[in-house]
Amino acid sequence: MTNFQSTNTVMNKVNAFHSAIRISSVVKGSPIGIGSGFTAHTFREAAFDQHMDPLALVDHYVMTEPTFGPHPHAGLSAVSVLFEDSEGKFHNRDSLGNDFDILPGDLYWLKAGSGAVHDEAPRAGARIHGLQVFVNLPAQYKQDAPVSKHVSAHTMPVIEKEGVRVRVVLGESNQIVGATSPALPMTILDGYLSGNGIFKHDINAGENAWLYAIESDITVETPQGTITLKAGDAVALSNLNHDGVLSIALSCAAFTVPSSITSSKAHFALFSAKPIKEAFVQKGPFIMSNEQEIKQAERNYAAGLFGRLD
């Protein structure tokens, strides 16, 4: 009887932990193209069963020509993560007075808050490869004054071991601490796996995580089972257990990268943060709590209240 009760107790703990994990469907990005110099695969929050929160949109893009021109943002953070294989310089300007080049591997975080005007464009001959991310802001911060942060690639710590190279673009992983965001706490990882390399990351209690296979296929081991992501696939996970971390392990998919082929690499990005859990409305570069706030943001921009680019 004692042994039976002990087994039941263990199983109940395991089942309780599994019930505290939610995993979205695997989603493939929708292809988009604008003009002759911008192509992307885009992911939106609605496709991930609310497990992508606080991310609202992610574009995995390549830009070779100026595409958007100066444009407004409000109620969100616009985050640019440049991959190291970008070529050339990415000219960044905004109404906060910033005017400088973002280089391969850099991060730029613009917390637009009440409103800002922004422009990013490749310099002549550049090929910019990265992620453009819209991060929602809680309603109480949507009218904050805009602020920004530039993190240079050479200041980002790197987790490196056999078959693993992961840049801590922002936040923390494996007790390695990088820069902090100017808005809500968030971890952003940019990693490569090869051969038999395995990378483990803990998703903190109450956090969501969004994981994207950029190049080659990867497998994700969770307490609830194994997920295979083909290149171009993304998945979101929620750690609803408020008493502990959710540990996941990432590795190259065996059927895509045999252990004997150590030169092949799988490239992934991982974002993790606590969800906001608030309803929102997105209209282009604005994210607000309701339609009335969207209309007010549009009026404020038209009235010049977002500032201008010098």
Residue-wise burial string across 81-98, b where 16 or more C-beta atoms lie within 10 A, e elsewhere? bbbeebebbbbbbbbbee
How is domain 29-155 classified at the architecture level of CATH?
Answer: Sandwich (2.60)
Reply yes or no on whether the pLDDT at 8 is more than 60. Answer: no
Give percent of the chain above pLDDT 70: 90
pTM assigned to the model: 0.91
**pLDDT score at 237:** 96
pLDDT 10s digits, 184-223: 999 999 999 999 999 999 999 999 999 999 999 999 999 8
**pLDDT score at 10:** 33
Taking alpha carbons only, the member of 131, 122, 109, 133 closest to residue 60 is: 131
**pLDDT score at 50:** 86
| Angstrom distance (rounded) from CA 183 to CA 81 | 16
Contact 130, 78 (CB under 8 A): no
**pLDDT score at 179:** 98
29-155 and 157-273: identical CATH topology: yes
**pLDDT score at 177:** 98
Q: Can you say how many angstroms the Cα of residue 302 is from the centroid of all Cα atoms in its chain? A: 30
Q: Tell me the average pLDDT of the chain.
A: 91
Confidence of residue 11 (pLDDT cuts 50, 70, 90): very low
| Mean per-residue pLDDT, 298-307 | 97
Confidence of residue 240 (pLDDT cuts 50, 70, 90): confident
Identify the residue whose tokens are 């911008």. Answer: 38
| Mean per-residue pLDDT, 129-138 | 98
What is the domain partition of the chain in residue ranges?
29-155, 157-273
Reply yes or no on whether the pLDDT at 225 is more than 60. Answer: yes
Q: Can you say how many angstroms the Cα of residue 209 is from the centroid of all Cα atoms in its chain? A: 9
Neighbours of 181 (CB within 10 A): 20
Reply yes or no on whether the pLDDT at 2 is more than 90. Answer: no
Identify the residue whose tokens are 């830009």. Answer: 63
Between 9-13, 170-174, 279-283, the lowest mean confidence (pLDDT) is in 9-13
pLDDT 10s digits, 24-33: 999 999 999 9
What 8-state DSSP symbol labels residue 207? -
pLDDT 10s digits, 96-106: 999 999 999 99
Give CATH for domain 157-273.
2.60.120.10
| Mean per-residue pLDDT, 258-268 | 63
